[in-house]
Amino acid sequence: MTRKQQRLARKRGKKLKEFNRLIRAAEGGEYNKSRICFHEAGHCFNVWFQAEGGRLCDVTCVQNGTIDGLTRHWSRRPATRASLRAEIAIKMGGKAAEMLMFDASLGHYADQPEWERKAKAFLLGWSSAAFDVFFDFPPLFWIVDAHALFHLVSIPVPLLWAKFICAEADAAQQKIKERIY
């Protein structure tokens, strides 16, 4: 690397360190116990108040490696629409509690893939059930039948869901940047 490239790399490194420092300041420090407690309380309240939510096992707000806090609950495998809704609500409860208390969720990324996966399963299950029940018909011209149209309809649903999640994440990131600057 040339000297100019080295200077630019050091400058970028300083800017990145400053940006990370500002994010930590917006979070309230390296380890903001109140934010984590509210996050875990959001999960707990959803387990407690969801009829299909299951039974609360234990909760901790003690940092352990990459995990800031942990809420464990026991429930049967989601087999009904109500139990799947309860699971999604429980997984999203922490983010909702942070949004209510702090007007921004800086995110606990271990929760997001779980509720995304459950929401996708819910949407795909609902769309397939509705399509198969309402529009079941024999093949037309030996080419198109209900099953083929099911695949045609069910593919865009997860794509729309993913676009919604990305748009929400971008909006949350923009809100955090506005609070920092």
**pLDDT (tens digit per residue) in 94-149:** 877 877 777 766 656 566 676 677 677 767 666 665 666 566 667 777 777 777 76
Mean pLDDT of the chain: 72
Provide the residue range defining the domain that includes 97.
13-180
Does the pLDDT of residue 43 top 80, yes or no?
yes
Position 46 in a domain: yes
Q: Residue for token digits 């959803």?
A: 46
Distance CA 74, CA 84 (A): 14
Position 91 in a domain: yes
Position 7 in a domain: no
Residues 6+ apart with CB under 8 A from 83: 52, 75, 76
Position 4 in a domain: no
Position 71 in a domain: yes
Position 1 in a domain: no
Span between the terminal Cα atoms of the chain, in Å: 33
Position 86 in a domain: yes
Q: What is the structure's pLDDT at 73? A: 81
Containing 85, the helix (H) or strand (E) segment is: helix 81-102
Q: Residue for token digits 């969720």?
A: 105
Distance CA 13, CA 18 (A): 9
Position 2 in a domain: no
Q: pLDDT, tens digit, for every residue of 1-38?
A: 687 777 777 777 777 777 776 666 665 555 567 778 88
Domain count, the chain: 1
